């Protein structure tokens, strides 16, 4: 599926990181059609440069000065970044360093080209990119990874994606020692989508040590499938929750990791929808800079009072609550009313699946997911 992506390429060397299947290579080849490509996903290329890293420099010497060079799956041979550094300085080559994992790059302790290469992220499709092809129910069921959207057998593609992740991302790169334990852990971690992370419970269910679970969660985050949302310290005269919330980057991946197929069950819709809103904000944060930081807010204890998202831009805030119902209920406003006195709060929003845009008497905006997506596309969220 060739669609216009809203990510913009910088004019200097940059890292491009994103989960497998998010369309990085397709976008790069369309954006830099004349670039010299070194694809480390090719086993022949990988083995050649693994055996003799000096061939990488030999190849770069033949590239004309000032040209773009794409190094795909750079995390497979992170030591090549030292040569990248040299050729940026000596030959003025521009590099795109593409990968689906930040883990090996960080762990290798290699030169990460500080100041010489920017960082960009690629995400699953957002509604603005899919246009008329966007279907909310379909995306909640199968997700919006390009590799899945382009498939005529979406469920099979998702299942193959999960197997490929274990085989190529985890086993081949030796990111964990106990692959069966990690495989048992994945469906349990998927059950915690849109919840605060409870390492002890996950460890008990997966039958592995607590410290092992902590490492497994790091693997999921560093292979870009998941992200943590920290708690916002509003200091509203209540003790506030400190643990982060846990999100997967795509609802289709959540469902396949849970080994869930078929139509959406009502009980899974809430977490999937909340995660979809979280990922939408995250994508626009990276692509368009709609906010500086993202948080959630909740008092400690078992209170049902919570605000799913606090967006921060400078000294200004927007509070957002995601609800998977179609018919507005005043009870949905509880959390947003609890944070009404937050300093710098510009707007309070409830986003639900469908329905007309409304505003409550106390100024809370009620938007459908489509309304929200349109405001983000139009850069109108803070207006």
Q: Do 282 and 253 have their domain in common?
A: no
pTM value surpassing 0.95: no
Neighbours of 180 (CB within 10 A): 10
pLDDT in tens, the chain (383 residues): 567 899 999 999 999 999 989 999 999 999 999 999 999 989 999 999 999 999 999 999 999 999 999 999 998 898 898 889 889 988 999 999 999 888 777 765 445 666 678 889 999 999 999 999 999 999 999 999 999 999 999 999 999 999 888 877 777 666 777 788 888 889 999 999 999 988 988 888 888 889 989 988 998 998 899 999 999 987 665 565 688 999 999 999 999 999 898 889 889 999 999 999 999 999 999 999 999 999 999 887 656 779 999 999 999 999 999 999 888 999 999 999 999 999 999 999 999 999 899 999 999 999 999 999 999 999 999 98
- Whichever domain contains 347, its CATH number is 3.40.1350.10
Domain boundary among 237, 253, 270: 270
Residue 4 covered by a domain: no
Dihedrals φ, ψ of 334, to 5°? Answer: -55, -50
The dihedral of CA 310, 313, 317, 319: what is its sign? negative
Cα 52 from Cα 19, distance rounded (Å):
28
Domain count, the chain: 3
CATH code at position 147? 1.10.10.10
Q: What are the φ and ψ backbone dihedral angles of 263, each rounded to 5 degrees?
A: -65, 155
Residue 42 lies in a domain: yes
Asked if residue 315 belongs to a domain, the reply is yes
How many C-beta atoms surround the C-beta of residue 142 within 10 A? Answer: 22
Distance of CA 321 to the CA centre of its chain: 19
Nearest to 54 by CA among 79, 37, 26, 76: 79
Cα dihedral 207→210→214→217 (10° resolution):
20
249 and 279 in a single domain? The answer is no
* Angle value at C-alpha 281, between 118 and 225, nearest 5 degrees: 70
9 in any annotated domain: no
Residues 92 and 66 in one domain: yes
Q: Are residues 27 and 45 in the same domain?
A: yes
Cβ-based burial of 218 (10 A; exposed 0-12, middle 13-18, buried ≥19): middle
* Shared-domain flag, residues 264 and 292: no
CA–CA separation, 137 and 158 (whole Å) = 16
Kindly state whether residues 131 and 248 are assigned to the same domain.
Answer: yes
Q: For the chain, where are the alpha helices, taking DSSP H only?
A: 24-31, 43-51, 54-61, 81-91, 103-107, 127-130, 136-142, 146-149, 154-164, 179-191, 199-206, 210-222, 251-257, 266-288, 334-338, 369-377
111 & 131 share domain: no
Q: Do residues 146 and 260 share a domain? A: yes
Shared-domain flag, residues 219 and 348: no
The distance in angstroms from the start CA to the end CA of the chain is 33
Rounded CA-CA distance 105/330 in Å is 48
Distance, in Å, from the CA atom of 120 to the CA atom of 12, rounded to the nearest integer, reads 12
CATH number of domain containing 63:
3.40.50.300
Residues 253, 298, single domain; the answer is no
Shared-domain flag, residues 97 and 160: no
Domain end point (choices 121, 152, 181)? 121
Q: What is the pairing mode between strands 364-368 and 345-352? A: parallel
136, exposed or middle or buried, with CB in 10 Å at 0-12, 13-18, 19+? middle
Whether residues 132 and 265 share a domain: the answer is: yes
> Is 5 within a domain?
no
The whole domain housing 360 covers: 275-377
Let me know if residue 383 belongs to a domain. no
Q: Which two tokens stand for residue 262?
A: 């078929």
Residue 67 lies in a domain: yes
- Let me know if residue 33 belongs to a domain: yes
Domain boundary among 121, 156, 190: 121
159: left (phi over 0), alpha (psi -120 to 50) or beta: alpha
* SS3 (DSSP) at 133: helix
């Amino acid at each position: 599926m060739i669609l216009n992506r809203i990510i913009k390429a910088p004019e200097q060397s940059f890292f491009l990181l994103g989960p497998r299947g998010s369309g990085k290579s397709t976008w790069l080849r369309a954006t830099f059609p004349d670039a010299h490509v070194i694809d480390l996903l090719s086993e022949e290329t990988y083995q050649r440069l693994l055996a003799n890293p000096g061939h990488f420099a030999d190849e770069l010497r033949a590239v004309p000065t000032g040209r773009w060079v794409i190094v795909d799956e750079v995390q497979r041979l992170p030591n090549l970044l030292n040569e990248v550094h040299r050729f940026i300085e000596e030959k003025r080559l521009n590099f795109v360093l593409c990968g689906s994992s930040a883990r090996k790059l960080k762990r290798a302790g290699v030169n990460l080209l500080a100041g010489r290469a920017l960082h960009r992220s690629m995400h699953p499709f957002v509604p603005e990119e899919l246009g008329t092809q966007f279907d909310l129910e379909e995306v909640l069921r199968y997700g919006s990874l390009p590799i899945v959207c382009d498939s005529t057998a979406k469920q099979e593609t998702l299942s193959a994606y999960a197997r490929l992740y274990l085989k190529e991302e985890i086993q081949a790169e030796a990111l964990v020692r106990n692959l069966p334990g990690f495989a048992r852990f994945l469906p349990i971690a998927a059950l915690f989508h849109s919840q605060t992370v409870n390492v002890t419970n996950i460890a008990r269910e997966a039958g592995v040590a607590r410290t092992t679970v902590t490492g497994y969660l790091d693997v999921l985050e560093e292979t870009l499938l998941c992200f943590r949302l920290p708690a916002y310290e509003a200091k509203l005269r209540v003790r506030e929750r400190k643990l982060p919330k846990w999100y997967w980057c795509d609802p289709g991946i959540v469902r396949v990791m849970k080994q869930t197929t078929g139509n959406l069950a009502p009980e899974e819709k809430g977490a999937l929808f909340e995660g979809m809103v979280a990922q939408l904000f995250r994508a626009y944060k990276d692509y368009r800079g709609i906010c500086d930081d993202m948080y959630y807010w909740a008092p400690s204890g078992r209170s049902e009072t919570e605000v799913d998202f606090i967006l921060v831009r400078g000294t200004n805030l927007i509070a957002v609550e995601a609800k998977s119902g179609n018919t507005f209920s005043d009870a949905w406003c509880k959390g947003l009313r609890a944070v009404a006195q937050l300093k710098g709060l510009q707007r309070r929003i409830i986003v639900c699946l469908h329905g007309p845009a409304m505003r409550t008497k106390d100024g809370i905006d009620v938007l459908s997911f489509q309304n929200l997506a349109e405001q983000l596309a139009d850069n109108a969220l803070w207006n």
